[in-house]
């Protein structure tokens, strides 16, 4: 539905030019909840603003339903935005805000009235239709902004960190509600956030961005289980990175004898081995695991689980999470010497980057 | 609550009230001396008898107010409506309205231009706008005279470029008065409008474009309504002094087209009719007050119907 083809954006010129986007390629499907995730300055907002029409690309195409829309001004694009600041018109009531997009396009008064009622119903704001935006809470403003952007029936709804100004509880609630709304309406959402939890819980697919480039595009599960590189592994969830060496389809690490890998996926040479803390097993495993000796340096109790930082014999540090189950076989104490096992199928071999040298 | 507690609480409130009044005293003194007292004097003068060589004489008289509305017929001493005063008032109001309109037309783009510069250059442009304020009104008016008089800068330029064959007569016309007034009062429009534009959140304009608004629709429905308080303040600031303007019409119009301000001046000067001058002044104040009440009500309502 939306084809982003080698889209790039350069601010400034010459040597001082800043490449906000470097040749981005994504295809977004109809009815998809698609999230652009990345730290601030990664280019996700620039990409969103380009889809909305507020920025012109320096190169590449933006093809919506087979038509290049890159040069069409924002008011003529079948795309609406929920802004981070909500940007509600302060001199208008809730109903007038929601009606704005329809009236600007010259809809008939009865058409506008019907659609406004419908939208206010959907976001449960009918009872506040005559309020001014300055007399509403953040959550209420958020709902109005959503209704306003949905009213003109966009092909794609763009959401620019819409939940970042809400407190945690309200944010969780709005996440669920947004997702439900998107499913029910079958609408395509492009959602920008820097919050990985938000991205994982809501999205059908996530594009992780950094430095103006795409790091990985996939569904939340695959993103978490099979990160493409160290940046993605680190940005989404918690990760241990250990040094390893591949030789003849065997992985050697932490001074242990090399173990044959189930799948021969990497070339010979040094690799970065990634394992999520919750995949680390306390105690030895019978097979298909690498077992290492270490000593618990710190323990952090956090309710449902305990996080331990283990110093391995070769000096590397490994973090693990153990569920606080009453019937767990072992209890952990600080300073305790123990064996930890890394199941082979939980290990991810990442290409070694310059920054991994340390 | 026991009675004594109520009494002591009242005493505290009284003390508090006294303290607040004493804090407001400096401001009240200034307002009384500079605003209320002169007004009282003028109202008083308007109800006194006129002295033979100007000034006023003690004694109640409605003669001053009578002369505002009615004048003695030249031939038979009967009273007829003072239509000349009405004409002058009409001319003054028209001039003030036109001045307000012109400062609006030139002031809005100027304010917009300044407010959309980078913060560091804004200060420079604002400085340029306020420079005329440091200059005496007379000097400013004579400066604009220099531009448009028969052998002034503009005529010489037009002659030199061959656009005209002989100098245009621009001085001492109604147009000249309007040019001078617009020039003098422009900053009073630019400043409040600039403040309104500077406060304007341009993300709202972005939201309007995103919601399918054309540039003009956005201007009409979002930008102007939010700038309305600034425009209203600017209009009032220009209209009121323009209505009583005296120096500029006199110098630019050459005293040919008399304005209300000149009429007042005449009574205190050559006319030697201070009560009439005072009555004319108060009458103008009442007209301004009426206009303001009407305007503010209309704007307040307008703001809501726009919203």
Domain boundary among B16, B43, B72: B72
Q: How much is the average pLDDT of B261-269?
A: 87
Q: Which residues pair with A81 in a beta bridge?
A: A158
* Start-to-end Cα distance in chain B: 48
Decide if pLDDT at B54 tops 50.
yes
Q: Measured between alpha carbons, how far is A179 from A200 in angstroms, rounded to an integer?
A: 12
Q: Are residue B153 and residue B296 in the same domain, yes or no?
A: yes
Token duo for residue A132: 């001014």
Q: How confident is residue B301, by pLDDT bands cut at 50, 70 and 90?
A: low
Q: Say whether B10 sits in a helix, a strand or coil.
A: helix
Query: Is residue B137 in a domain?
Result: yes
Q: Which residues form the domain of B30?
A: 3-72
What pLDDT, on a 0 to 100 scale, did the predictor assign at position A82?
94
Give all domains of chain A, ordered by start, each with its CATH number: 2-231 (3.40.50.300), 238-355 (2.40.50.140)
- Over range B115-126, report the average pLDDT: 88
**A104–B contact, CB cutoff 8 A:** yes
Top mean-pLDDT range of A33-37, A104-108, B130-134: A33-37
User: Once rounded to an integer, what is the mean pLDDT over residues B182-194?
Assistant: 91
Closest partner residue to B207 (CB to CB) among A73, A87, A152 is: A87
Write out the two tokens for B94. Answer: 């028209």
Residue B232 in domain: yes
Banded pLDDT at B167 (limits 50, 70, 90): confident
What is the structure's pLDDT at A266? 67
Residue of B nearest to A91 (CA): B307
In chain A, % of residues over pLDDT 90: 41
| Residue B305, CA distances (Å) to A87, A92, B233 in order | 21, 10, 19
Q: Give the contacts of B286 (CB within 8 A, at least 6 positions apart).
A: none
Q: How far apart are CA A204 and CA A218, in angstroms?
A: 8
**Which candidate from B207, B213, B306 shows the least CB-CB separation from A83?**
B207
pLDDT tens digits for range A26-72: 999 999 999 999 998 888 999 999 999 999 888 888 999 989 998 89
Q: How confident is the model at residue A358 (pLDDT cuts 50, 70, 90)?
A: very low
Residues of B in contact with A132 (CB under 8 A): 307
- Flag whether residue B204 sits within 8 Å of chain A, measured between CB atoms: yes
Tell me, yes or no, whether B165 and B249 share the same domain: yes
Short-list B116, B145, B138, B103, CA closest to B246: B138
- Boundary-marking domain end, from B72, B92, B123: B72
In a domain, B290, yes or no: yes
Answer whether residue B304 shows pLDDT above 50. no
Question: What are B169-178's pLDDT values in tens digits?
Answer: 777 888 888 8
Average pLDDT over all residues of chain A = 87
Do B208 and B67 reside in the same domain of the chain?
no
Which of B206, B210, B225 lies nearest to residue A80, judging by beta carbons? Answer: B210
Find chain B residues with C-beta within 8 A of A85's C-beta.
201, 203
Instruction: Specify the residue for token string 């809809």.
Output: A107
φ/ψ (deg, to 5) at A86: 70, -40
Mean pLDDT of chain B: 86
Cβ pair B212:A73 closer than 8 A: no
Counting every residue, how long is chain A? 358
Residues B66 and B172 in one domain: no
pLDDT at B299: 67
B63 in the same domain as B156: no
Residue B77 lies in a domain: no
- Where does the pLDDT of residue A356 fall: very low under 50, low under 70, confident under 90, or very high at 90 and above? very low
pLDDT digits (tens, 9 = 90+) for A140-182: 999 999 999 999 999 999 999 988 888 888 888 889 989 999 9
B269 lies in some domain: yes
- pLDDT score of A290: 84
Both tokens of A151, joined, read 């009213």
Identify whether B297 is part of a domain. yes
pLDDT digits (tens, 9 = 90+) for A286-323: 778 888 888 999 988 888 888 899 998 888 888 998 88
Give pLDDT, residue A12: 81
In this structure, the strands spanning A240-247 and A18-28 are unpaired
Of the candidate ranges A50-54, A205-209, A250-254, B31-35, the one whose mean pLDDT is the lowest: A250-254
Do B56 and B205 fall within a single domain?
no
Residue B250 lies in a domain: yes
Residues B65 and B87 in one domain: no
pLDDT of B307 higher than 50: no
- The answer as to whether B283 is a domain residue is yes
User: CB contact, 8 Å: B216 with chain A?
Assistant: no
Q: Is A208 exposed, middle or buried (0-12, 13-18, 19+ CB in 10 A)?
A: buried
Q: Give the mean pLDDT of B200-226.
A: 92
CA–CA gap between residue B248 and residue B241 (Å, rounded): 11
Q: Phi first, then psi: give them for residue A62, nearest 5 degrees.
A: -130, 100
| Greater model confidence, A289 or B124 | B124
What are the pLDDT digits (tens) for B58-77? 888 888 888 888 877 777 77
CATH of residue B202's domain is: 1.10.3720.10
Asked whether this complex has an ipTM greater than 0.95, the answer is: no
Residues of chain A with pLDDT > 70, as a percent, come to 96
Query: Domain check: are B97 and B152 in the same one?
Result: yes
Q: Over 80: is that where the pLDDT of B131 sits?
A: yes
Q: Does B189 lie in the same domain as B65? A: no
Q: What is the pLDDT of residue A265?
A: 67
Count: domains in chain B: 2
Same domain, B109 and B11: no
Last residue of a domain, one of B13, B45, B72: B72
For residues B288 and B162, membership in a common domain is answered with: yes
Say whether pLDDT at A255 is over 80: no
Q: Are residues B59 and B91 in the same domain?
A: no
Cβ distance B211 to A149 less than 8 Å, yes or no, reads yes
Kindly state whether A53 is in contact with chain B, defined as any CB-CB distance less than 8 angstroms. Answer: yes
Q: Which residues of B touch A73 (CB under 8 A)?
A: 209
């Amino acid at each position: 539905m939306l084809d982003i083809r080698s889209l790039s954006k350069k601010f400034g010129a010459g040597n001082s030019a800043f490449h906000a986007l470097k040749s981005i390629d994504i295809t977004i499907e109809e009815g998809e909840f698609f999230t652009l995730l990345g730290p601030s300055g990664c280019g996700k907002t620039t990409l969103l603003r380009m889809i909305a029409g507020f920025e012109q690309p320096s190169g590449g195409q933006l093809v919506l339903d087979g038509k290049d829309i890159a040069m069409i001004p924002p008011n003529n694009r079948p795309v609406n935005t929920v802004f981070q600041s909500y940007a509600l018109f302060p001199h208008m009531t809730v109903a007038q805000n929601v009606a704005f997009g329809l009236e600007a396009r010259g809809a008939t008064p009865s058409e506008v009235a019907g659609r406004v009622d419908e939208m206010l119903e959907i976001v449960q704001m009918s009872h506040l239709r005559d309020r001014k935006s300055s007399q509403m809470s953040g959550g209420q403003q958020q709902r109005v902004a959503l209704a306003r952007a949905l009213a003109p029936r966009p092909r794609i709804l763009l959401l620019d960190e819409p939940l970042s100004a809400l407190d945690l509880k309200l944010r969780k609630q709005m996440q669920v509600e947004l997702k439900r709304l998107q499913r029910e309406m079958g609408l395509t959402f492009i959602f920008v956030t820097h919050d990985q939890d938000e991205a994982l819980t809501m999205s059908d697919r996530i594009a992780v961005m950094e430095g103006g480039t795409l790091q990985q595009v996939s569904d939340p599960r695959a993103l978490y289980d099979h990160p493409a590189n160290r940046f993605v592994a680190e940005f989404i969830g918690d990760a241990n990175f250990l040094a390893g060496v591949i030789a003849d389809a065997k992985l050697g690490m932490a001074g242990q004898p090399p173990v044959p890998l189930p799948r021969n996926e990497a070339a010979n040479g040094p690799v970065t081995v990634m394992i999520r803390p919750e995949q680390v097993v306390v105690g030895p495993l019978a097979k298909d695991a690498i077992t290492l000796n270490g000593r618990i340096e710190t323990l952090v109790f956090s309710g449902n689980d305990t996080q331990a930082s283990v110093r391995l014999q070769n000096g590397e540090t490994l973090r693990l999470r153990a569920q606080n189950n009453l019937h767990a076989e072992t209890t952990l104490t600080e300073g305790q010497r123990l064996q930890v096992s890394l199941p082979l199928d939980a290990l991810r071999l990442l290409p070694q980057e310059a920054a991994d040298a340390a | 609550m026991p009675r004594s507690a109520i009494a002591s609480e009242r005493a505290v409130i009284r003390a508090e009230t006294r303290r607040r009044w004493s804090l407001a005293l400096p401001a009240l003194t200034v307002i009384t001396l500079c605003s209320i007292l002169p007004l009282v004097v003028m109202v008083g003068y308007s109800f006194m008898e006129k002295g033979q060589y100007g000034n006023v004489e003690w004694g109640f008289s409605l003669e001053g107010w009578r002369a505002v509305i009615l004048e003695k017929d030249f031939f038979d001493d009967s009273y007829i409506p003072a239509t000349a005063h009405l004409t002058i008032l009409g001319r003054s109001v028209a001039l003030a309205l036109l001045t307000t309109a012109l400062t609006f037309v030139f002031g809005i783009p100027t304010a917009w231009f300044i407010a959309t510069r980078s913060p560091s250059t804004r200060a420079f442009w604002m400085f340029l706008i306020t420079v005329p304020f440091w200059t005496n009104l007379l000097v400013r008016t004579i400066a604009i005279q220099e531009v448009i008089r028969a052998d002034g800068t503009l005529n010489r330029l037009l002659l030199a470029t061959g656009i005209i064959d002989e100098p245009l007569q621009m001085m001492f016309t109604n147009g000249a008065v309007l040019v001078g007034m617009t020039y003098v009062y422009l900053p009073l429009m630019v400043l409040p409008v600039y403040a309104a534009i500077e406060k304007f959140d341009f993300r709202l304009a972005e939201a309007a474009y995103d919601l399918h608004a054309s540039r003009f629709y956005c201007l009409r429905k979002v930008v102007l309504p939010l700038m309305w308080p600034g425009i209203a303040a600017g209009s009032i600031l220009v209209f009121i002094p323009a209505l009583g303007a005296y120096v500029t019409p006199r110098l630019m119009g050459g005293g040919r087209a008399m304005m209300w301000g000149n009429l007042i001046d005449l009574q205190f000067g050559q006319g030697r009719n201070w009560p009439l001058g005072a009555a004319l002044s108060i009458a103008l104040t009442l007209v301004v007050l009426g206009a303001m009440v009407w305007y503010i009500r209309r704007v307040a309502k307008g703001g809501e119907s726009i919203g």
